[in-house]
Structure 1
Amino acid sequence: MNDATGAGTPVAGACGPHAKDAVVVGGGLAGVTAALALADAGVRVTLLEGRPRLGGLAFSFQRGALTVDNGQHVYLRCCTAYRWFLDRIEGTALAPVRNRLDVPVVDLARPEGRRLGRLRRDPLPVPLHLGRSLAAYPHLSLAERAKVGRAALALKALDLTDPALDAQDFGGWLAAHGQSARAVEALWDLVGVATLNAVAGDCSLALAAMVFKTGLLSDPGAADIGWARVPLGELHDRLARKALDSAGVRTETRTRVTSLSTDESGRWSVEAPGETLRADAVVLAVAQREAYDLLPPGALDDPDRLLEIGTAPILNVHVVYDRQVLARPFFAALGTPVQWVFDRTDASGLKGGQYLALSQSAAQDEIDAPVAALRARYLPELERLLPGARGAEVTDFFVTRERTATFAPTPGVGRLRPGARTKASGLYLAGAWTATGWPATMESAVRSGVSAADAALGALGRPRPAHLFEFEEAA
């Protein structure tokens, strides 16, 4: 270990006079990906994470006998980079993709009472794969369904490389294409709020078009849903750490970097409490505010733009019942504050009863609400949605809050998101908030880590690992 004065031995894992050293700052999905990619190319890597665990904002914790995810994280079959990441850490079997998109949607707003509809695909070419489901979707009128189909075709025709899309809001575009408020609520926001963490009116058309074109209008199976059948910590911490160890990465948690600088030779010095690390390349894989604080002068033309990237919260409501109240693994809801509900019983280790997790995106109005107020709001709604809950006892109720869960996908955010390369030689950026073209998802985080590692390897003169971009071929 190097001492605080900067003298000392190189980063662990030396393998010859021409070996290169890299430090990755941040142990979320972006940082872990970058570290694995660099190490696979023969670079000596040290990963530094300030938290006591890896995984960033997709993690688990213990609550008594329960193992709890901080929030419900899902991905789609089109998330080829995250699927590559799961394969790289040998976690694919623990987070499988369902065989076919099939989303139960319960509506409480209908005059006739609770009504169930489904959004599902058929094994037909795009866009016919959703035709039968849309034609039978009971939460929209026949006229609304026809207009949705026309809007989907118009969306499919948009050019995602057109920079003008970033400045437009998705809600305005939908209104201009004949979408009623009901259609926005019952279809576009049903999908968009969960994937973008914003309602249509607050979202960049560029990001929304990317989500819907890629997820629903690119390949029949693109929107098939997957999620972890084990706690997220099993994947993003335990298996990720095992993969890092096997790749020769030195991983240090509870180690917060305080500054970055270069010496007269152009090598980087990474300062952490009690240690200075020397490196040929540094990947800064932290949130945008922390990146702003650590960036050396001149690294970006306008670093203040990082502070203009807003954040959006996600609230998760956790309810444990003394009996089973939900027979299906998940559902979405309309006409109620409840958005998406998942059965987390098996993954949590619960031995009796049922544990449901409610994922509430774009939760600006509730993120700071007292637990008692949230309990009074959501338990009656669950009883309205789930008849079996009406006679069940609630044995535990708690909430988890991620106040800065994602970057806010507002119109104009695309011009604020920096790429992987900076103007400082040897310094690279990673994180879901960087310019991946994706919203703030696990997919975006992994893609950013790959981009940062690829840029660093090119500058270091190291060959790209053959498997690193396999996900591009699978896209």
Structure 2
Amino acid sequence: MTAARVPGGAGSVCVIGGGLAGIAAAVRLADQGLPVTLLESRPELGGATYSFRRDGLTVDTGQHVFLRCYHAYRGLLDRLGVTDDADVQPRFAVPVLLPGRAPHLLARRRLPAPAHLLPGLAGYRLLGPAERLAAVRAAAALRHVDPDLPETDARSFGDWLTEHGQSERAVRRLWDLVTVAALNLPSAHASLALAARVFRTGLLDSADAGDIGRPLVPLTDLHAVPARRLLHELGARVHTRSRVRWIHPESAGFRVGLSDGEIAADAVVLAVPHPVAAALVPPAAAPGAGDWHRLGAAPIVNVHLRYAHRVTELTMAAAVESPAQWIFTRPLPDDAQQVVVSLSAADTEIDRPAAELVAAQRAALAALFPAARHTPVRDAFVTREPRATFRQAPGTRAYRPATTTRLPGLVLAGAWTDTGWPDTMEGAVRSGQEAADVVARQLASRPRHHTEAAR
């Protein structure tokens, strides 16, 4: 790829990274009429939300869900024209499984917030009466925790729960159901600020905010394919299998180096994971980039099992006191069933042999679903995401950078930046849209002779 500026508009923008943050940024910029080039190192767009083929089936590397309150993400789905390819449950309802017990449905009522959750907490049979009452009180207190205060981020959610009378069993059977899935860490190790954001925004402040959405199609068809199609329609250029090696600032913009050449642009959106961003960003742009490694990483492991026959009527469930965590199913031809067990905070599982993980989850599912005990498994495999999210521990906000850098025209995007949100699809989309808006403002404020001289 030879060096060349893209003509037209207020200035050309190179978006580096084709995950959700990069897609959101590229679409936002192209919608504003700016010439956009999107570079992605993988064969397809989508970042961590991708699919692959196995034995005639299209399989997502991991199960991704979203909430009704993910307004930016759902808006992007609408812009991509795939709103009907995802489904949001009419009201929050999660079957909670305990080995040897019938499923307990944890659900909201059709009441205004926060009363919508009180009947569900008060009737949560997996806790004792005193624990339920304490949970109601803690939920009420959590509404008054300010997630934007630095002192809130400095504390662990586990310490706060202990301070508010939550037993170890209540943490395992109730609070960690959400914390582990949403923050990829157990409550004991998670930031109180990010936990408060999850519980307040997703469950407490609005009655329908926590209703769970699931894709109805493979993730590649939900994100990558429609994004490439839309960007092509908008005149943007998309290059996959294009790994960026360096970014050099120049008097009239930036030069971006690739394995097979280089391109020039008036502005750059760097929408890649934080270790990659730290290696690419010019030192003058972000002196604090050396601290980004402190964000760390937290893994997620998914165990995929294809049963010869249906083992449960549930499409989604959460397990407690079990090696399984969140369980998702989908029907297959001839009454077969695909079951995916998603294991977040998977530090102890990430390096375990696949055979051990499969055996452990087969035993766990047999303890939860009697039909699984004698149903043959036709296929089983494991997908691993060692760096699924940054490690959302107390104090991490200090290391999450702002969108802007010290070099005008070079901005950062990604769920790891300081969005105020956890590392989620919503955070990624918000960051990309904010980065696009910052770039558009910066380019618009440049003197006209500057952008003309760049061409």
TM-score higher than 0.5:
yes
Question: How many residues were matched structurally?
Answer: 445
Residue 52 (structure 1) aligned with residue 43 (structure 2): yes
- Report SS of the residue matched to 2:232: helix
Match of 1:282 in 2: 268
8 Å Cα contact 2:147/2:192 also seen in 1:
no
Q: CA deviation at 1:251?
A: 0.2
Q: How does 1:145-294 map to 2 (within 5 A)?
A: 145-263=132-250, 265-294=251-280
Residue 131 (structure 1) aligned with residue 131 (structure 2): no
Rounded Cα–Cα distance in structure 1 between residues aligned with 2:260 and 2:310: 52
Equivalent of 1:429, from 412, 429, 435?
A: 412
Rounded Cα–Cα distance in structure 1 between residues aligned with 2:42 and 2:236: 17
Q: CA deviation at 1:161?
A: 2.2
Residue 340 (structure 1) aligned with residue 323 (structure 2): no
Match of 1:469 in 2: none
**1:26-61 CA-partner distances (Å, limit 9, x unpaired):** 000000100000111111000000000110001100
User: Taking structure 1 as reference, are residues 36 and 351 closer, same or farther at Cα in structure 2, changes over 3 Å only?
Assistant: farther
Rounded Cα–Cα distance in structure 1 between residues aligned with 2:444 and 2:404: 15
Rounded Cα–Cα distance in structure 2 between residues aligned with 1:237 and 1:161: 33
Q: CA deviation at 1:277?
A: 1.2
Match of 2:452 in 1: none
Equivalent of 2:21, from 11, 14, 30?
A: 30
Structure 2 length-normalised TM: 0.96
Rounded Cα–Cα distance in structure 2 between residues aligned with 1:298 and 1:344: 50
Match of 2:5 in 1: 10
Equivalent of 1:65, from 26, 36, 56?
A: 56
Deviation larger for 333-342 or 113-122? 113-122
Q: CA deviation at 1:352?
A: 4.7
Q: CA deviation at 1:235?
A: 1.1
Q: CA deviation at 1:344?
A: 2.9
Rounded Cα–Cα distance in structure 2 between residues aligned with 1:27 and 1:162: 32
Match of 1:80 in 2: 71
- Report SS of the residue matched to 2:226: helix
The letter for the 1-side match of 2:21 is A
Match of 2:82 in 1: 91
Q: CA deviation at 1:242?
A: 1.0
Specify every segment of 5 or more residues in structure 1 that has no aligned partner in the other structure, as ranges. 463-475
Rounded Cα–Cα distance in structure 2 between residues aligned with 1:391 and 1:41: 58
The letter for the 2-side match of 1:49 is E
Match of 1:354 in 2: 337
Q: CA deviation at 1:216?
A: 0.7
8 Å Cα contact 2:269/2:413 also seen in 1:
yes
Match of 2:385 in 1: 402
Deviation larger for 151-160 or 407-416? 151-160
The letter for the 2-side match of 1:365 is T
Q: How does 1:309-388 map to 2 (within 5 A)?
A: 309-345=295-331, 352-388=335-371
Q: CA deviation at 1:345?
A: 3.2
- Report SS of the residue matched to 1:129: coil
Rounded Cα–Cα distance in structure 2 between residues aligned with 1:164 and 1:42: 42
- Report SS of the residue matched to 1:258: strand
Equivalent of 1:104, from 63, 82, 95?
A: 95
Match of 1:392 in 2: 375
**1:119-160 CA-partner distances (Å, limit 9, x unpaired):** 111110111101111111100111111111111111101122
Rounded Cα–Cα distance in structure 1 between residues aligned with 2:334 and 2:322: 30
Equivalent of 2:109, from 122, 128, 149?
A: 122
Rounded Cα–Cα distance in structure 2 between residues aligned with 1:380 and 1:300: 49
Residue 452 (structure 1) aligned with residue 439 (structure 2): no
- Report SS of the residue matched to 1:388: helix
Q: CA deviation at 1:298?
A: 1.4
Rounded Cα–Cα distance in structure 2 between residues aligned with 1:250 and 1:98: 36
- Report SS of the residue matched to 2:42: coil
Q: CA deviation at 1:180?
A: 0.3
**1:434-458 CA-partner distances (Å, limit 9, x unpaired):** 0111111111100110110011011
8 Å Cα contact 2:155/2:192 also seen in 1:
yes
Equivalent of 1:308, from 294, 312, 316?
A: 294
Q: CA deviation at 1:184?
A: 0.5
Give structure 1 regions of 4+ aligned residues with deviation exceeding 3 angstroms: none
Match of 1:416 in 2: 399
- Report SS of the residue matched to 1:335: coil
The letter for the 1-side match of 2:32 is A
Equivalent of 2:444, from 430, 445, 461?
A: 461
Q: CA deviation at 1:278?
A: 1.2
Rounded Cα–Cα distance in structure 2 between residues aligned with 1:351 and 1:252: 40
Q: CA deviation at 1:351?
A: 5.6
**1:4-32 CA-partner distances (Å, limit 9, x unpaired):** xx4xx422xx33xx541000000000001
Equivalent of 1:440, from 401, 423, 427?
A: 423
Rounded Cα–Cα distance in structure 2 between residues aligned with 1:274 and 1:221: 49
Structure 1 length-normalised TM: 0.92
- Report SS of the residue matched to 2:293: helix
- Report SS of the residue matched to 2:117: helix
**1:59-89 CA-partner distances (Å, limit 9, x unpaired):** 1000121110000000000111110111010
The letter for the 2-side match of 1:272 is L
Q: CA deviation at 1:301?
A: 2.9
Rounded Cα–Cα distance in structure 2 between residues aligned with 1:52 and 1:33: 18
Q: Identical aligned pairs, as a percentage?
A: 48
Rounded Cα–Cα distance in structure 2 between residues aligned with 1:261 and 1:383: 56
Match of 2:453 in 1: none
**1:412-443 CA-partner distances (Å, limit 9, x unpaired):** 00110001100112100001100111111111
Match of 2:451 in 1: none
The letter for the 2-side match of 1:439 is P
The letter for the 2-side match of 1:426 is G
